[in-house]
Structure 1
Amino acid sequence: MNRFRRSRRSAVSASLSCVLALLLAGCTGERPPNSGETDRPGTSTAASSSEGGELPDVVPQPSSMIPNGGDVRVSGKVVVVADPAVEPWTRTLAVRVLRATGAEEVVVREPGRPIGDSDLRVRLGSRWSPTIRKTFQDTELDFPDGDEKLASEGYAISVREGQNPAIVLGGMDPAGAYYAVQTLRQLATPGRVAGVAVLDEPEMPTRGVIEGFYGSPWTHAERMDQLAFYGSVKLNSYVYAPKDDPYHRDRWRDPYPADRLRRLDELRQQAMQHHVKFTFALSPGKSICFSDPADWRALTDKLQSLYDIGIRSFSIPFDDIDYAEWNCESDHAEYGAPSARAAGVAQARLLNRLQREFLDAHAGTTPLQTVPTEYSDTENSPYKSAIRQRLDPVVEVMWTGEGVIPDGITVDDAASAEQVWGRKPVLWDNYPVNDYDATEGLMMLGPYAERQPGMGLRLAGLVINPMNQAAASKVVEISAADFAWNSTAFDERRAWHQAAEYLAGDRFRGDEQRLSPDSGTVDALMVFFDLNHTAVLPDGEPWLEPAPELRRRLDEFREAWDGDASNRKRAVSELRGYARSVADAPEKIRKGTPEDFVSDVRPWLRATDLWGDALLATLDGLSARAAGNSATASEEFRRAAELADRATSVRTVEGETLPQGPVRLADGVLDDFVRQAPDMR
């Protein structure tokens, strides 16, 4: 892994000359209401300055970032010199960042126009500008003069103080310039921007989210918010595939009603403005007759209706279907008796025809995407052989890892998938999705874990399948964005903590005020995240350990309790501090985090209220027992049991979660301790 990191950094440094040549700008369109483009996964104030030798936290972690002199102060008048090619969306975001950081006035000018006096100059855009090239050559990053290029979406930033302080940003393409401004947003703290040089590019070309779960689909407002959020963390792909949208799956032949089509168009526009590829998935596998000309027309007519509103990326998934039988007699005549191989042949023929006759014939489309019926392993089979041998190499194939819900994914797993499918797959990661029976009552708020760094070499991309709860899914989405952009430098604990900082308020609110995360809310969220740190296989076996921090503390307590009796009082006192943090966390979260997150996790907050009080009552009982007061101990244990019973009766919100049931948190950890404590002598 270390060899890969050094070689990647070397390749990044070796590619500067073209990024200096092609500093083009960001995204298109006017800002929609409440678009959330300034949401950010926060940078803690303590780590935000480069003047003391610390580098600021940026999510995703850049490929290369070094100190570049002192911080640049932002106040008074700031002039942004932006090329004509810089699009309105990126200009608007840059102006908002600078105003929120401390500029009293921000003026945007094109090169060659009079600038006048200013307190700070920001350069955005430019092609082969000698000034820009010299700016980067004066940094300590290795910028050779060769012809190498950064990857698409790559960007460079120089922030340097001095007699004429300046900020220079630019990207290899519009997305890269947009991402440069998103990184600038994280380099900024009130009144200043960290003095750093950044050279950055993504490890995976596709990074995003697939709304592919069963149960209540996200609302239109949630999707609009998600798309804006994706841009802020450099996720560039969203696949629309909610299983419970009837027009996506069961009624795939039917055209969308006008109001639904209008909302899909709004999503497309929102995605475009945040440099997110909006992919529409149509899932015909349950009922399609591959050999029926009428079904071919229905399929292409449906895709045409979506193309007509501007959608240019399509997926035809064949997941979760039975290929042991045909849906029509003519398929039997065309492809022979039902079999895995025959299904692979029929699917490949349809996908190839769609790619050739529909996508290639329509301007601006991207390659077709599919999810094969055998999507969850890398064992060769007649079906996989048919797909590998017959499917057009341009068609993207999704794969979920070794298992529908894998307990880990390695570089070797990805290499095997590449071999069996005959192409680099896009990893469809079924985490943190919570729509299968074993997840009843669970909220998945753990880190993005058990995925091996370096997989980007073997993958065409990563998309995660989120929870029914959109806002709560951002906890894992932030981590996955970090992993997909730069898996070689991925630190799951760091990314997990960044999610807490994001939710605790480290984001722009309005044009004038910028808040740093409230440390008390961050701490409360980390306690709450730990209580909901779990993920399970379909058989219910955890692949993420439930509540590891609480478990560690309880194990230490048990060891101390079973040791010298004189240590019991101290052990109770030490655990009580954390128990108080558990009990206090819900109210801090309710007051200090966004309303949509609080709404998503409300039942789990209520259960935490009760479990926190049950834990405190349990410690009161143990404390009384250590003091020899058996009557008080019994009363406290009785009270703890009553609170635990009430906690286990809290249920998920009807209609919001699939499956529904009693809320579970710290499963097998907190409940076991409260239940077993009366027997601790």
Structure 2
Amino acid sequence: MKKMHLAIICLFTGCTIFAQNIDVQPIPQQVSKQDGQINLPETYQLLGETEANPYAVQELKDLLGGKHPANTGLRIYIGEKGDKSIRKFTRQIPNQKEGYYLSINNKEIILAGNDERGTYYALQTLKQLLKDNQLPVIEIQDYPAIRYRGVVEGFYGTPWSHNARLRQLQFYGENKMNTYIYGPKDDPYHSSPNWRLPYPEKEAKQLQELVKVAQENEVDFVWAIHPGQDIKWNKEDRELLLAKFEKMYHLGVRSFAVFFDDISGEGTNPVKQAELLNYIDEHFVKVKPDVTPLIMCPTEYNKSWSDPAKGYLTTLGDKLNPSIQIMWTGDRVISDITQDGIQWINERIKRPAYIWWNFPVSDYVRDHLLMGPVYGNDTQIANQMSGFVTNPMEHAEASKIAIYSVASYAWNPTKYNSEKTWKDAIMNILPDAATELEFFAAHNSDLGPNGHKYRREESVNLQPTAQSFTESYIKNKTYTEKDFSILQETFSQMVESSDILVAHADKNPIIVEIMPWLYQFKLLGETGNEVLAMVKAYDKNDQSLFMRKYKHVKALQQQMFQIDQTYNQNPYQPGIKTAGRVIKPLIDQTFATVTQCYNQKYSTLLNAETDYMPHKLISDISQIKNLPLQVKINRIQISPALEVIRWPGNGSLTIELDQVYPGENIEIDFGKPEIATWGSLEISANGKDWSKVNFTQKNNRLTASLQQKPIKAVRFTNMQHQEQEIYLRRFIITIDK
């Protein structure tokens, strides 16, 4: 009846219900907009400030700036349901947690929350609507579709800096995200072996500041502990964990999580996990009225790793207290969330899953930036999730593009527009160079080949031209001038956008983060234009010009190699990769084709190779077989995996080299100090006949000296029938080239 009444009013006043043309993100649930604007007057009456959310009140005063409070002027009502100032607007306030009612007309502004956080979100919407001292005449009823929305800093690699976290928390508040889970894998006081110890004074003060800023931005600061790798299921460790939580409580933390992900051994026992978590819930969480529900991340946190026969997930579902939230990444470690997938897990854990979405996290492809649109998650399953948090990149500012989009999706998934939200995010983050950042991000969104086989679209608008040009030129040595012109323009724009963005380095920290990729992107654009110049020179039979351009391309390739070998030299996926899905393959294939044509025509032997991987990884182990190989000078290594590898009995991995080399040594790290008596290391000079190689082990590190023996392949096999749980942190062959 109420909606019908609103529709009749709108019919006669020219307003729009569910208006999509207002500049607000996340998109509100219901909007009624009339024609016209109001100008903020010089004076206003603020009603309800003594009862309302103090953070919202302070931001409102900051927003009004030079305006003056008085007994006359525009009336501004602010408060929560039940407050005297907004009692008459109670029926308009959505009866949803964090919901709000916002009304703007030439007589009054109403910011009415269902609770304090709802009032704060009404203020955030008002801030977005205010343009040049003007506000639209509008009525909004809004609330989030998913209860908990935010970010889990749960990646491996360099943790965010303190200042980056402070900027993140403000960003979350502005975009109506209410959750920040602090769980960086490389914080020694979060995980084994130091989870039992208190934070040193400096780190403790920083955490206190983060908690304070989170509160000011209406964000729950969730401190997570990761004790599973070495926890003892006894009273002593249980009390140490509770004592650590008490210490964090005294630092101001009011939200807590326990992670049991990426571990092996006794810590994976679901019965013991449930007993511990229920004890924490009953003796810590529920006895403190200001502490939010406990969150846990299970060991089997995705479907592909779960073993229904062992009943891990159903045990948690049956034994965990109903209020404890259970996290879930989807059908795989890296996957989008689907209707079938969410139903599968909810049936087992007997509660709505708390989604830990592993995007744009790049800790398994650290040489890439993931700056493209957020898409792929079902938009009709909000009521089947208790929470949705995104795991970001170690690049905090670059991650904001995806975080902004996740904020929009989690608030109102049915109205979520991936492409528009992505563009809005970029405009929000770098308005002075949004065009250039959007262009760069469009070509830096895919992950490249990786062990999880998770890929993203890249260079979407260029794809048809790239395909048309490649097919015509590679097969028939022909092309259309239209395709050629579009490619020239694209490569020139790569150079221009890189230069413009680099010039903004002192204005926005995102540019500092992505600087090496901007260098590489520019060089790739220059390379593309020079390769096209080679094509034209060949067509004109201009040998002199062709050779000039060929030499320049080789010089540019050398510069790109140096950048790849200099920047971002992490031990997992070192280097700088850019535009790898469409643009770089196009340039490489065109270069190789035109150089080969030149060699055939003029009987030359110019090198037509670009970077490529001459060696192969072969394995029957599902978690290993898709891992990429890396080559650095004379070292060939498997890209390390971050998760526990379940190596089946008799399973093996083989690295097959492109030719026979004198071998120097082999280094392996399975992440465990126990002697790897279960495995056999072998080498072959022809890929057929194998000989065993003895290795020595010190702590986690296995080493074998090859003493210049000829090798064509290296193999490691689980010689036992039972499965082994290991970490693949290092597998390196060093050869004599």
TM-score by length of 2: 0.73
Match of 2:453 among 510, 517, 541: 541
1:569 aligns with 2:498: no
Letter in 1 for 2:95: L
C-alpha distance in 1 between matches for 2:296 and 2:244: 17
* Partner residue in 2 for 1:333: none
* Partner residue in 1 for 2:71: 115
Letter in 1 for 2:360: P
SS, match of residue 227 in structure 2: coil
* Offset at residue 569 of structure 1 (A): 3.4
SS, match of residue 589 in structure 1: helix
C-alpha distance in 2 between matches for 1:249 and 1:562: 53
Per-residue CA deviations over 1:502-525 (Å, capped at 9, x if unaligned) read: 1223xxxxxxxxxxxx4xx22211
Per-residue CA deviations over 1:26-56 (Å, capped at 9, x if unaligned) read: xxxxxxxxxxxxxxxxxxxxxxx99xx9722
Letter in 1 for 2:510: F
* Partner residue in 2 for 1:90: 56
Match of 1:399 among 320, 328, 335: 328
* Offset at residue 66 of structure 1 (A): 3.1
Per-residue CA deviations over 1:292-318 (Å, capped at 9, x if unaligned) read: 221122111111111122211111111
SS, match of residue 452 in structure 1: coil
1:646 aligns with 2:588: no
1:154 aligns with 2:99: yes
* Partner residue in 1 for 2:132: 190
Report if aligned partners of 1:376, 1:400 keep a CA contact under 8 Å in 2: yes
* Offset at residue 131 of structure 1 (A): 9.8
Q: 1:614 to 1:82 in 2, by over 3 A?
A: farther
SS, match of residue 428 in structure 1: strand
* Offset at residue 660 of structure 1 (A): 4.6
Report if aligned partners of 1:396, 1:426 keep a CA contact under 8 Å in 2: yes
* Offset at residue 605 of structure 1 (A): 0.8
C-alpha distance in 2 between matches for 1:657 and 1:174: 44
* Offset at residue 636 of structure 1 (A): 2.2
* Partner residue in 1 for 2:462: 550
SS, match of residue 460 in structure 1: strand
Per-residue CA deviations over 1:38-88 (Å, capped at 9, x if unaligned) read: xxxxxxxxxxx99xx972221111112232231112353444434321233
* Partner residue in 2 for 1:282: 225
Per-residue CA deviations over 1:79-136 (Å, capped at 9, x if unaligned) read: 443432123321222233333xxxxx3234xxxxx613x3x443323767999788x8
* Partner residue in 2 for 1:633: 546
* Partner residue in 2 for 1:581: 493
* Partner residue in 2 for 1:203: 145
Match of 2:514 among 601, 620, 623: 601
Would you say how many aligned residue pairs link Structure 1 and Structure 2?
Answer: 579
* Partner residue in 2 for 1:411: 339
C-alpha distance in 2 between matches for 1:538 and 1:422: 33
Q: 1:483 to 1:69 in 2, by over 3 A?
A: same
Q: In the TM superposition, what are the counterparts of 1:466-505 in structure 2 within 5 Å?
A: 466-505=392-431
C-alpha distance in 1 between matches for 2:113 and 2:344: 34
C-alpha distance in 2 between matches for 1:276 and 1:541: 34
SS, match of residue 293 in structure 2: coil
Q: CA RMSD in A?
A: 3.0
Letter in 2 for 1:591: A
Determine which structure has the larger strand proportion and give its number. 2
* Offset at residue 677 of structure 1 (A): 1.6
Letter in 1 for 2:104: V
* Partner residue in 2 for 1:348: 274
Q: 1:121 to 1:584 in 2, by over 3 A?
A: farther
* Partner residue in 1 for 2:350: 422
SS, match of residue 189 in structure 1: coil
SS, match of residue 176 in structure 2: coil
* Partner residue in 1 for 2:575: 662
Report if aligned partners of 2:97, 2:115 keep a CA contact under 8 Å in 1: yes
Report if aligned partners of 1:241, 1:248 keep a CA contact under 8 Å in 2: yes
1:261 aligns with 2:215: no
Letter in 2 for 1:398: M
C-alpha distance in 2 between matches for 1:190 and 1:556: 47
* Partner residue in 1 for 2:297: 371
Report if aligned partners of 1:648, 1:663 keep a CA contact under 8 Å in 2: no
The structure with more radius of gyration: 2
SS, match of residue 47 in structure 2: strand
C-alpha distance in 2 between matches for 1:226 and 1:493: 23
Per-residue CA deviations over 1:627-646 (Å, capped at 9, x if unaligned) read: 55454234324423432332
Report if aligned partners of 2:436, 2:498 keep a CA contact under 8 Å in 1: yes
* Partner residue in 2 for 1:33: none
* Partner residue in 2 for 1:34: none
1:65 aligns with 2:31: yes
* Offset at residue 564 of structure 1 (A): 11
Per-residue CA deviations over 1:171-195 (Å, capped at 9, x if unaligned) read: 1111111111111111121131233
Letter in 2 for 1:391: L
Report if aligned partners of 1:66, 1:198 keep a CA contact under 8 Å in 2: yes
Per-residue CA deviations over 1:503-550 (Å, capped at 9, x if unaligned) read: 223xxxxxxxxxxxx4xx222111111121113674263421343333
Identity value in percent: 28
Determine which structure has the larger helix proportion and give its number. 1
SS, match of residue 532 in structure 2: helix
Tell which has more relative contact order, 1 or 2 (C-alpha 8 A, sep 6+): 1
C-alpha distance in 1 between matches for 2:155 and 2:479: 50
Report if aligned partners of 2:177, 2:407 keep a CA contact under 8 Å in 1: yes
Match of 2:256 among 286, 293, 314: 314
SS, match of residue 141 in structure 2: strand
C-alpha distance in 2 between matches for 1:97 and 1:253: 44
TM-score by length of 1: 0.79
C-alpha distance in 2 between matches for 1:264 and 1:440: 27
* Partner residue in 2 for 1:611: 524
**Unaligned stretches of 5+ in structure 2?**
7-14, 598-737
Match of 2:385 among 450, 459, 464: 459
Q: 1:95 to 1:362 in 2, by over 3 A?
A: closer
SS, match of residue 51 in structure 2: coil
Letter in 2 for 1:90: A
* Offset at residue 242 of structure 1 (A): 0.9
C-alpha distance in 2 between matches for 1:666 and 1:527: 11
* Offset at residue 596 of structure 1 (A): 1.3
SS, match of residue 535 in structure 1: coil
Name whichever of 220-229 and 72-81 sits farther off: 72-81
C-alpha distance in 2 between matches for 1:257 and 1:155: 41
